[in-house]
Structure 1
Amino acid sequence: MALKTTTSFGTISEQFQKLDLKALAKQKGLYQVFPTVHYPPLEAFKHNDPGKLGDPKKASLFDKAEKVFDLTPTLGTEIHGIQLSQLTNQQKNDLALLAAERGVVFFRDQDIDVYEAVELGKYFGPLHVHNTTGHPEGLPEVISIFYDETNPETPKYFESRSADEAWHSDITYESQPAGLTLLKLDVVPPIGGDTIWASAYEAYDRLSAPMQKFLEGLEAVHDGQVHQDRAKRNGIFIRRDFVDSIHPVVRTHPLTGWKGLFVQPGFTKRIVGLNHKESRLLLDFLFKHISGGHDFQLRFKWTEDTVAVWDNRCTFHCAIFDYFSSGRRHGFRITPTAEKPYFVSSSKSRRQDLAEKAALASEEKK
């Protein structure tokens, strides 16, 4: 059938059968393409965050859901009874705001396919087309997640590394990194394959006041060297030159106004203005703070056809590669991009803002 697809490079028409990625992953295995084409540099854009139109009560989501519950006190909410393929614009706005506040939102038993997911992702911002990763034929905005037990080199690579080295927020080496990310897993191993998220808000709040003050105003360099190395190791063509970007170490979220820590071992390489030893010492401390922060982390056990929607501006995450002897794990990721990270000195921490609002509400009741 003829399918018209809008990509970051314009509107194109291609002749191919609509892909069923779940069936491909189960029947064919590795189906991704790695085109040897050059992508132009990314251009700056003004991000219009739909979360600004979100309802603080999230009524369009919560009133329509069968069940809504939080997974930890500071991070993660699960919603049952709503299909992402059928969201209204107001529900999309409320979802953006909810993800900004709770970090990550989970929806189980979802029927949304990859084409619908691409269209949903566009609502939240321009979709990132990755420099190196494999994608389904005709869908360059999609990152295919596919690992299984059949390639002996895959477990060999991951088993030589610790999961705490893989903490990251998506594509922070870009000048305007990811805002929301949508990930659907439609094939999961019977055991293992969890993902861990951590709250950047709470990571900031759990630092001492002197450390918070020291970090505010510092900047860090982010690069995509890990992706370049992987591409070279696997003989994959690099379709766009990687760039280095400088971002604040503490970031202000545009929707909540809350401060969050914005460094991670995946892409953050050095602190601007510090010498090598000072930078390494500080980053190692912050990376251990994130990886060891079990009191602001969430470990999620996937079930087939679950979708996670998270806000990269206020979370970190890492996948657990412990399932190679168990089976196959497949899904697809859509990555809308957002504003260039910034820090506002007058912004508040999550704890401070919520405490002040609670005190105000208490006063109003008297």
Structure 2
Amino acid sequence: MSTSIATETQQQQQKQQDSNPTLKLRGHDNLNAQGQEEYRYSHLLPVFTADTYPPLTPFEHVDPGARALSHSDPRAFLGNATSVVEITPNLGTEVRGVNLRDLDSEGRDQLALEVARRGLMVFRDQQDFIDAGPDFYLQWGRHFGRLHIHPTSGHPQNYPELHLVYRDANSTFNFERSDSITSTSWHSDVSYERQPPGLTTFFLLSSPSTGGDTLFTSQVSTLKKLSPQFIAFLKTLKAVHSGVEQADFSRSGRRGATVRREPVEHIHPLVRKHPVTGEEALYVNRQFTKRIVGLKREESNTLLNFLYDHIDKSGDLQARLKWAPYTVALWDNRVTAHSAIVDYGESKERRHGARITPQAERPVPALDGLSLDD
């Protein structure tokens, strides 16, 4: 599909707002010379080009969090914070008073380590960061790894490395289904890649007045809840993660009908070890994990469904992020899973987010010597 999708989407939104002036985007609209509202982040609306890309090639990832281990104070980047609050005991920290845009290389290393340890960090009042623009986003993300180009999602014009989520009154360009009784879909981003993401940065450019929260869960904690004997068994297993369903979803005409890179499947351990913290985490998700290698279909389905159910129901291990203007969230995809909450559809408001997604290492098995071959 052509880049005209972005223009059509913008025109639809303008008509909607003209007809209903109560639908304001919280703090994110300006007036043009004619006194009309124009969307402040229209340059970051999703486009779907005909560009295609070759398969991803392996690369050596050097985790910046590892460098912070040798710092005399690995949490020095929080020194000027006015508030540092743990969202839950085992997952998530909310910070005020730290300007992410001002962090130097050492501060970014420390940030990577803290995100790895806490799983999720939420920084409020980050207008400087969000308004810095897409060139800054790329420079920021490259500090943490090779930037991933999503095979099917929309991106801003000329910036394919920026993954966008987008939903408004007229359309959705998200990987979501309307034939389910719930919008909750736990996943770790693009886990089907050979080298899935590590530290991820995400923020909303426009959000509904209420709803549209994001759920997170600690996969370190979900693993620890299981019995030692069962964990020992899980460590011997590996599973196939597949991007085929996501590609087929787009090929069916939804989400921009674009597939830029042919879908892949890769084998990852069911339990992985974080290369910096050494923590072990459950590494399966309902969205992309398809089968356990070496088990018969019924055995694989039974075990995976048990683990998915465990993840779904572990409310005591989860954190809920309520978005506010100029909030930036960072999480470690190696030790967390997350789900958007699509509960704002009746309001017909826009939810527009951008994700900066650096890839990390190939998942390290928690069991030494476990081969990731078929």
TM over 0.5: same fold?
Answer: yes
Which has the higher mean CA deviation after the structures are superposed, 253-262 or 24-33?
24-33
SS of the residue corresponding to residue 143 of structure 2 reads helix
> Are the counterparts in 1 of residues 153 and 174 from structure 2 also a CA contact under 8 Å?
no
SS of the residue corresponding to residue 105 of structure 1 reads strand
- State the partner residue of 1:216: 235
SS of the residue corresponding to residue 344 of structure 2 reads coil
**Take 1:345 and 1:233, find their aligned partners in 2: how far apart are those partners?**
40
> Are the counterparts in 1 of residues 213 and 341 from structure 2 also a CA contact under 8 Å?
yes
> Are the counterparts in 2 of residues 30 and 146 from structure 1 also a CA contact under 8 Å?
no
The Cα RMSD (Å) is 2.3
Within the candidate set 78, 86, 91, 2:102 is matched to: 86
- State the partner residue of 2:120: 104
Within the candidate set 60, 84, 88, 1:72 is matched to: 88
**Take 1:25 and 1:220, find their aligned partners in 2: how far apart are those partners?**
43
**Take 2:160 and 2:177, find their aligned partners in 1: how far apart are those partners?**
26
2:328 is the alignment partner of 1:307: yes
AA at the equivalent of 1:267? F
Within the candidate set 159, 182, 191, 2:210 is matched to: 191
Within the candidate set 201, 209, 221, 1:182 is matched to: 201
> Are the counterparts in 2 of residues 183 and 334 from structure 1 also a CA contact under 8 Å?
yes
> Are the counterparts in 2 of residues 67 and 80 from structure 1 also a CA contact under 8 Å?
yes
- State the partner residue of 2:77: 61
Question: In the TM superposition, what whole-angstrom CA distance separates every residue of 1:288-313 from its partner, at most 9, and x where no partner exists?
Answer: 11111111100110001111010000
> Are the counterparts in 1 of residues 44 and 155 from structure 2 also a CA contact under 8 Å?
no
Which has the higher mean CA deviation after the structures are superposed, 109-118 or 316-325?
109-118
- State the partner residue of 1:95: 111
**Take 1:25 and 1:247, find their aligned partners in 2: how far apart are those partners?**
42
Question: 1:208: Cα distance to partner?
Answer: 1.1
Structure 1's 158 and 191: CA in aligned 2 closer, same or farther, altered over 3 A?
farther
2:348 is the alignment partner of 1:332: no
Question: How many aligned positions are there?
Answer: 325
Question: In the TM superposition, what whole-angstrom CA distance separates every residue of 1:172-209 from its partner, at most 9, and x where no partner exists?
Answer: 10000001111011211111000000001001100111
2:77 is the alignment partner of 1:40: no
Identity %: 42
Q: Which residues of structure 2 form unaligned runs of 5+?
A: 1-27, 30-37, 370-374
Structure 1's 148 and 280: CA in aligned 2 closer, same or farther, altered over 3 A?
same
**Take 2:72 and 2:340, find their aligned partners in 1: how far apart are those partners?**
31
Structure 1's 67 and 92: CA in aligned 2 closer, same or farther, altered over 3 A?
same
> Are the counterparts in 2 of residues 170 and 178 from structure 1 also a CA contact under 8 Å?
yes
> Are the counterparts in 1 of residues 44 and 156 from structure 2 also a CA contact under 8 Å?
no
Structure 1's 26 and 189: CA in aligned 2 closer, same or farther, altered over 3 A?
farther
Within the candidate set 119, 130, 142, 1:122 is matched to: 142
AA at the equivalent of 2:158? G
Question: In the TM superposition, what whole-angstrom CA distance separates every residue of 1:46-71 from its partner, at most 9, and x where no partner exists?
Answer: 10000011148433222121111110
AA at the equivalent of 1:323? Y
Structure 1's 153 and 119: CA in aligned 2 closer, same or farther, altered over 3 A?
closer
Alignment of 1:321-360 (within 5 A): 321-326=342-347, 327-345=349-367
SS of the residue corresponding to residue 363 of structure 2 reads coil
2:243 is the alignment partner of 1:229: no
- State the partner residue of 1:17: none
**Take 1:37 and 1:153, find their aligned partners in 2: how far apart are those partners?**
18
> Are the counterparts in 1 of residues 165 and 173 from structure 2 also a CA contact under 8 Å?
no
2:267 is the alignment partner of 1:246: yes
Question: In the TM superposition, what whole-angstrom CA distance separates every residue of 1:57-90 from its partner, at most 9, and x where no partner exists?
Answer: 4332221211111100000011111111111111
- State the partner residue of 2:7: none
Question: 1:261: Cα distance to partner?
Answer: 0.1
- State the partner residue of 1:132: 152
Structure 1's 158 and 301: CA in aligned 2 closer, same or farther, altered over 3 A?
farther
> Are the counterparts in 1 of residues 154 and 173 from structure 2 also a CA contact under 8 Å?
no
Within the candidate set 277, 285, 289, 1:264 is matched to: 285
**Take 2:300 and 2:366, find their aligned partners in 1: how far apart are those partners?**
23
Alignment of 1:291-306 (within 5 A): 291-306=312-327
Question: 1:29: Cα distance to partner?
Answer: 10
Question: 1:132: Cα distance to partner?
Answer: 1.2
> Are the counterparts in 1 of residues 46 and 166 from structure 2 also a CA contact under 8 Å?
no
**Take 2:153 and 2:125, find their aligned partners in 1: how far apart are those partners?**
27
Question: 1:160: Cα distance to partner?
Answer: 3.4
> Are the counterparts in 2 of residues 158 and 321 from structure 1 also a CA contact under 8 Å?
no
Structure 1's 279 and 138: CA in aligned 2 closer, same or farther, altered over 3 A?
same
**Take 1:233 and 1:332, find their aligned partners in 2: how far apart are those partners?**
24
